[in-house]
Amino acid sequence: MKSEQDTVNPAVLDAIEPFPQPVDDPAWLITVEGFDHRREKDYESWFTVANGRLGTRGSLEELTSHSSPATYVAGVYATPEEAALVPEVPELIAGPDWARLEFHLGGERANLERGDLLELRRVLDLRHGILFRTWRHRLPSGAGMTFRSARFASLADRAILVLMAELESEHPARLTTHIPLTYTTLYERLEMEQQSGWVNINLQGRKGGRASFAISSEAREGRLDRIVAVSRGPDERNASDVLSAARRKGAGSLMEEHCRAWTTRWGDSDVVIGGDPETQRAMRFALYHLMSSGDPESDLASIGARGLTGPGYRGHVFWDTDVFVVPFYIFTDPTVARALLAYRYRTLPEAKKKAAQFGYRGALYPWESADTGQEVTPPYVSLNDGTRIPVLTALQQHHISADVAWATYLYWRVTGDDTFLEEMGAEILLETARFWASRVTLGPDGRYHIHGIMGPDEYHSNVSDNAYTNALARWNLERALEVLDVLHELNEESSRRLAERLKLRKSEIQHWRAVANGLFDGFDPDTLLYEQFAGFFDLEDLRAVDVAPRPFAGELAVGITRLPLCQVTKQSDVLMLAHMLPDAVSPAAAHANYRYYEPRSSHGSSLSPAIHASVAARTNDLASALDYFRMAAGFDLGGRIGIAADGVHLATMGGLWQAAVMGFGGLQAESEGVRIDPRLPSEWDRLAFSIRWRGARLGIEVEGKSLSLNVEAQTGVALGGQPLRLLGPGSYEARREENGWGSLQKTGAG
């Protein structure tokens, strides 16, 4: 199905204004020259322009046989019918391919794969969130052309997408603006209506959501401006109204507003790494994708494992979001973090149903979640011969409930948003605590245990007492008890009403305390080691580092029979604990566990390297920390063909931010303020970032041995092991001495 709109005849151009250009600073640019069909899908993912609601892959406008274009609308899923090898599971649907163009020169269609490619350059301007392209080509007939485009997903108005294009040729040329609809198998209903100047496309996904696209193209003197407005239904602004207003503004003004919005976001979110340009650029690439993924205005959707950059994991939401991505937002743009947690609150009823379905109380969040919050993990994967292998993650990775609770509590602690706690957060913490209290078993040893579980390390299933799960479950119970006291103090009446609504009795609360105190966690105070799960140390002591160069997939390198019987792990598991609960795992214990578990991890999951970097930095193993940081930074951007084809890895990116800020920056949120203890690897001469604490901005910069702080409003700050001090607005400095940080001196007024 195609919608043919207008055509543009550029002929010889006399452009009215110069075509927009990317910034002139390589630290803010990701550039790809030429065409490599093997990597095209990776580049399409890298070059996605997105704003948390809409995301368009960076496919070439005219497409090649290697392109896989897609535009995703966050939260809009459809469920394809069960097929031979595919279970019936919802997936994020791709909307109309709005950025599509066709080039005709003297009756000949221009195609990158025919004729002479003279220049193809794609530049992602990270600073402004714009993808630029220049394409010079000589067609088989000899006709030459130069095409330029710039596109963005507006950060100033998340309902809008824009493409600006320019075509120059000395030959008669025509730019045809087809909008093909190629994904119709997922659409239950599709309506298309041509209006003067634009086309409206309404689509409804099978057993899923809907979206309306209003698309207009305006041509003038060799230029084409395409503006698109999208709506997800009656609760959002009508797409046609948004489009009319946007067209009145024009693409140029939309671009200006968009650039201003990005500049503001970077002001709060940039991480400056001095002395390591490659890593700096990769850090900004990660920040670009993180910022492109969040939408503060809606709880309809959360962030999938690949954001809006590709079809990977069907657009499903994992713990990746709560543990890896949400902390970035908590500290840099809390409104987005609140929206992501509001999504978990909106889907709490489904989490309660899932717990009840398995005979538990409280809330058991789905391992994979989509629009409704029901469990959407595929129940099996099919091998080519038709054999179905059951997928156990949804049945056993119960740590997801504690992960959601962890993000909820961190948000409240850092922002001090008591309204959120009263309206949503407390209920999440209480219902997840309630789940753990029903999930444990009292053993003959008088301790509580958790059986039949899978920790983050997916190579070992159906284990008992996964240390990560047990320690976080205990933490979840303790925080629920704390929050009950906090609520009581904040508002006695509403806390009583909540307890009544949740039918929370004194006896149940006492039971929570008993479980928290008696929960076994596998920690050995002599060795300082946590045993990953009961019996892990008795498994064959095969170390990943001795198997193959890392990262590697354990299934292939070790074999599926041997894998569960040996100590090779897929990803950080015990080390997640050291990273997430720095109060509970001392630096000495973190160090001991790092030494034990690091050589055993295959890093078969992209979630692993950044956490290793963070824990290594915190325990002062800076060389190893930098190696892992670079491994994480190079995950999508490195040379592995196809690694990002299905989308970039958002959790790796969030992990990278955490490794920079919590690992090298040594940032830790305490109840009354932040503790910071920066340590830089010798290759870096500077690290600068800012965070928000209780609404106020705190700028942190380390250069060599000196640390400077910029405090916007009164903030509690502790350096290294020093006690917390309340700092008023102004600038401060301290120097690192032999035994740690010297005291902070005020150097400027606020």
Contact residues: ligand BGC, CB under 6 A: 305, 313, 318-320, 456, 458, 570-571, 605, 607, 651
Indicate the SS3 state at residue 412.
helix
- Residue whose CB is less far from ligand BGC, 480 or 613: 613
Question: What letter represents residue 502's amino acid?
Answer: L
Query: In this complex, which beta carbon is closest to ligand BGC, that of residue 403 or of residue 621?
Result: 403
Closer to ligand BGC by Cβ: residue 48 or 571: 571
Q: Looking at the DSSP assignment, which residues form a beta bridge with residue 690?
A: 699
CA gap 120, 449 in Å, rounded: 60
Q: In the bound complex, what is the minimum distance in angstroms from residue 694's beta carbon to ligand BGC?
A: 31
Least distance (Å) between residue 364 CB and ligand BGC: 16
DSSP letter for each residue of 528-579: TEEPSSTTGGGSB---GGGTSSSS--HHHHT-TTTGGGBS-BSS-SHHHHHH
Burial of 419 (0-12, 13-18, 19+ CB in 10 A): exposed
Q: How far is CA 24 from CA 30, 47, 115, 147, in A?
A: 12, 18, 31, 20
Residue 72 CB, nearest distance to ligand BGC (Å)?
Answer: 17
**For ligand BGC, which is the closer residue by CB, 160 or 305?**
305
Query: What is the nearest approach in angstroms of ligand BGC to the Cβ of residue 95?
Result: 24
- Which residues, other chains included, contact 716 with Cβ-Cβ below 8 Å and sequence gap of 6+? 670, 672, 673, 674, 693, 724, 725, 726, 727
- Output the smallest distance, CB 456 to ligand BGC, in A: 5
Reduced to 3 states (helix: H, G, I; strand: E, B; else coil), residue 83 is: strand
Is 389 or 696 the residue whose CB approaches ligand BGC more closely?
389
Any idea which residue has 């079809």 for tokens? 311
Query: What are the structure tokens assigned to 136, written together?
Result: 């010079």
Least distance to ligand BGC, CB of residue 64, Å: 29
Residue 397 beta carbon to ligand BGC: minimum distance, rounded to whole angstroms: 8
Cβ 334 to ligand BGC, closest distance in Å? 24
Q: 590 or 653: whose CB is closer to ligand BGC?
A: 653
Q: How far is CA 188 from CA 56, 147, 208, 568, 679, in A?
A: 22, 37, 9, 45, 55
Q: Which residue's CB is nearer to ligand BGC, number 151 or number 399?
A: 399
Strand order in the sheet with 108-109: 2-8, 173-180, 102-105, 108-109
Sign of torsion, CA 320 324 325 326?
A: positive
DSSP string over 413-452: HHH--HHHIIIIIHHHHHHHHHHHHHH-EE-TTS-EE--S
Closest CB to ligand BGC among 634 and 716? 634
Shortest distance (Å) from residue 610 CB to ligand BGC: 13
Q: Strand runs (DSSP E) across 206-259, as ranges?
A: 210-220, 223-231
User: In terms of CB distance, is 334 or 455 closer to ligand BGC?
Assistant: 455
Cα separation, 409 vs 475, in Å, equals: 11
Q: Taking the complex as a whole, how short is the minimal distance between the CB of residue 455 and ligand BGC, in angstroms?
A: 10
Whole-angstrom distance, CA of residue 525 vs CA of residue 26: 50
Nearest-angstrom CA–CA distance, 750 and 745: 14
User: Rounded to whole angstroms, what are the CA distances from 639 to 512, 631, 635, 644?
Assistant: 50, 12, 9, 10
With respect to ligand BGC, which residue has the nearer C-beta, 160 or 607? 607
Torsion over CA of 46, 276, 732 and 724, rounded to 10 degrees?
70
Judge contact between 281 and 27, C-beta under 8 A: yes
Closest residue by Cα to residue 472 from 401, 367, 393, 396: 401
Measured from the CB atom, the residue of 316 and 352 that comes closer to ligand BGC is 316
Q: Which residue number, 203 or 607, has a Cβ lying nearer to ligand BGC?
A: 607
Q: Minimum distance between the CB of residue 460 and ligand BGC, rounded to whole angstroms? A: 12
193: amino acid identity, one letter: E
Query: Distance between CA atoms of 53 and 58, rounded to whole angstroms?
Result: 16
Shortest distance (Å) from residue 380 CB to ligand BGC: 16
Nearest CB to ligand BGC, comparing residues 371 and 573: 573
Q: Which is nearer to ligand BGC, 456 or 681 (CB)?
A: 456
Q: What is the closest distance, in whole angstroms, from the C-beta atom of residue 145 to ligand BGC in the complex?
A: 42
Q: What is the DSSP letter of 600?
A: G
The SS3 call for residue 409 is helix
Vertex 505, ends 501 and 506: CA angle to 5°?
Answer: 145
Q: How far is the CB of 323 from ligand BGC (least distance, A)?
A: 9
Question: Closer to ligand BGC at the Cβ: 347 or 606?
Answer: 606
Min. distance of Cβ 607 from ligand BGC in angstroms?
A: 5
